[in-house]
Amino acid sequence: MKAVGLLSGGLDSTLALKLVLEQGIEVVAFNMVTAFCNCTPRDASCSAARTAVRQLGIDLKVVNATEEYLPIVENPKHGHGSGMNPCLDCRILMFGKAKEYMEEIGASFIVTGEVLGQRPMSQRRDAMRVIERESGLDGYIVRPLCAGVMKPTVPEREGWIDREKLLSITGRGRKEQISLAEELEVYDYPCPAGGCLLTDKVFSERVRDLIRHKGGLEIEDVRLLKAGRHFRLSPRAKAAVGRTEAENALLEQRILPTDRVLKLVDIEGPLTVVRGDPSTADLELAASIAVRYSKARTESLAGVVCRDGTGNVLHELTVAAIDDEVLAPMRIGGVT
């Protein structure tokens, strides 16, 4: 008997897979990543999931679903959570992908670390039912941590897995999972960067701004959202300004040929990437923001070189630092 186990690397999913493995069932771990995962470099797998599979001694399948996920973030059928997180639709996509993989490798069911009542949006009984139905997995999702309080699934009814050995944990407490982890010698490897950016207030506001002004989300724009301070220059252009050397390096990697890139002349300052279709006034504004965050902040004027995204110098601007009061309403997502 073979199952596909959804694995985030956190304690619950690791424990759930371990409980199934203990029953002698083969499990292949499955991890869906998107551009909104906080710790996942482009096309790489989640580091927490990688660590967890090493501990469990099983294989890991990683699927990057960003392309399909973007229209879901824009307009989720089941709505957003407190930020731009479309948790129900996200889970439906993830389970759907896991089902495809289950069929591909000839596995018989899906295992997850969900706990009834643990998460307000996606782990309510009615939400779990919706996810099962809409992912086409009705009766084929086994939740080893809370199976005892759920309707028996097909694998339990058919005796593929022993329901008696599954648990009845509910709610948001973690005590039972922690003592079980000690018993099974399983460790918690939560995402070091905190997981899903769509639950973050500032990041969510950046996503909303992008949808409002561009009409939709594109991967390259989402990648830019992950670094620097962001400012709306005009309906047609925005600027991302590096806060640290590391962020300047990140922004550098995300420059598109159509971008404008600003740097101060001979003075330490941030890398500023202007995206969209900026007017001369937009570029002057962006230059004055770059000066505001540089060592030339108190100078009356400073020189800023404007290049295109391939490195060709276009022109040089001479501007003063922008006034903080003028800058404040331009910030996307508040103070960062």
Q: Among 43-51, 55-63, 192-200, 257-265, which window interacts with ligand SF4 (CB under 6 A)? A: 192-200
CB of 323 to ligand SF4, least distance (A): 37
Residue 30: closest CA among 7, 64, 46: 7
Q: Among 17-25, 196-204, 252-260, 311-319, which window interacts with ligand SF4 (CB under 6 A)? A: 196-204
198 binds ligand SF4 (CB under 6 A): yes
CB of 238 to ligand SF4, least distance (A): 24
Residues of span 111-130 touching ligand SF4 by CB under 6 A: 122
Residues of span 74-113 touching ligand SF4 by CB under 6 A: 85-87, 90-91
Token look-up 């918690």 returns 188
17 binds ligand SF4 (CB under 6 A): no
Cβ closer to ligand SF4: 17 or 196?
Answer: 196
3-state secondary structure of 143: coil
Give the torsion through C-alpha atoms of 150, 151, 152, 153, to 10 deg.
Answer: -90
DSSP per-residue letters across 4-23: EEE--SSHHHHHHHHHHHTT
SS3 content of the chain, % helix, strand, coil (to 5): 40, 20, 40
Q: Hey, which residues does 260 pair with through a beta bridge? A: 274, 308
| Token pair recorded at residue 126 | 């009615």
Q: Among 102-110, 184-192, 195-203, 275-283, which window interacts with ligand SF4 (CB under 6 A)? A: 195-203
Cβ closer to ligand SF4: 42 or 157?
Answer: 42
Half-sphere exposure of 246 (CA within 13 A, CB side): 1
Q: Which of 25, 196, 271, 302 binds ligand SF4 (CB under 6 A)?
A: 196
DSSP per-residue letters across 166-179: S---BSS--HHHHH
Cβ closer to ligand SF4: 112 or 177?
Answer: 112
Question: How far is 197 from 318, CA to CA, in rounded Å?
Answer: 37
Cβ closer to ligand SF4: 94 or 239?
Answer: 94
Q: Among 178-186, 191-199, 238-246, 275-283, which window interacts with ligand SF4 (CB under 6 A)? A: 191-199
Q: Where do contacts with ligand SF4 occur on this chain (CB under 6 A)?
A: 85-87, 90-91, 122, 196, 198-199
